[in-house]
Chains A and B, each alone.
Chain A
Amino acid sequence: MSHVEKNLDYTAGEMMTVTAARALENGTTCFVGIGLPSEAANLARLTHAPDVVLIYESGTLQTKPEVLPLSIGDGELAETALTTVSVPEMFRYWLQGGKINLGFLGTAQIDRYCNLNTTLIGDYTAPKVRLPGGGGAPEIATNAGEVFITLKHSKRAFVDQVDFITTLGFGRDGKGRDGVPNIGKGPTRVITDLCVMKPDPETKELVVVSLHPGVSAEQVQEATGWEIRFTETLESTPEPSARELEVLRGLKERTAQAHAGQ
């Protein structure tokens, strides 16, 4: 992505993280995936959403890490948590029990209907690339109230049909949640380094609702593996504030220092 004129100097990655963070409302109980979601969720907590409740699948309830965890179960998460429960309890009582408003996920592949693939590229029995697998995502996506997804925009990631549905978005036809009892709303927002997308309320196909400053519709189309739709009321994503960038950079710097030190 080429840099264009902006009020502040920031990277596309920072734009993505700040936008993802802003999507998180104060007071939300959020089941946090590791990596980009964790970065965004903690930025939210350190800026506009001090009472956001961050929950990691390692069992750490309401945690407030000073530095970003590298793994989903770094000591930092347990040390700053309200309490730490067993992993079965986490998945049974807190996720399946309906206590989570929002699941915040990353993914390797995502398709037109917001299905996620973190299992493999190619054929299951003879994979070209074996990815890590489902982890918590399959049930986060169905048992949380709704789901945000954040990842970098590229043609490899945004594919027309995922090779494998690890985690349900809206199924191969957009109707995968219809008539299923006790299921969450599913993905309501996808935040990338180029734009923000939401599923069409009817068809559930992903639609671009907001372009980040300096990003063109063509750029988004080039980085997407299907003919992506843009909403008629396409907006420009607000830029990061100086404060957000300062907090984010401080967080990443503390994190880098902490992880290098061991």
Chain B
Amino acid sequence: MQVNLRNKGSITILDIAGQVIGTDALALKRIIDEQVQVADNHTEHGEDLNLILNLERVQMMDSSGLGVLVAAHTSVRRNNGQVVLLNLGGNVRSLIVMAKLMTIFDCYDSEAEAIAGIMKS
């Protein structure tokens, strides 16, 4: 798994590639937790945390990867922010559909739409 972090204004974008299974799911959780930590420290100054997870290049995800998405959703919500998903491939999409998680995540097919989606809410 490779994760690339970028910022667009107040939004943090994670471009995730490869397999999100096993120890890599754990590693992704740690990266997201760090972002939450940073936002926590800034919240006093009124900053929200909004995350776009770009899953375009994720080849495989298992239930622990899915668990990381859900955990991210929960902890980011606590910071008044949201996690949205970008570019779901067939595999990841059917995983999320199977687990009935489509209602929890807003999903977008372009970065501009994802950013607009976050701004609106």
Q: Do A and B come from one complex?
A: no
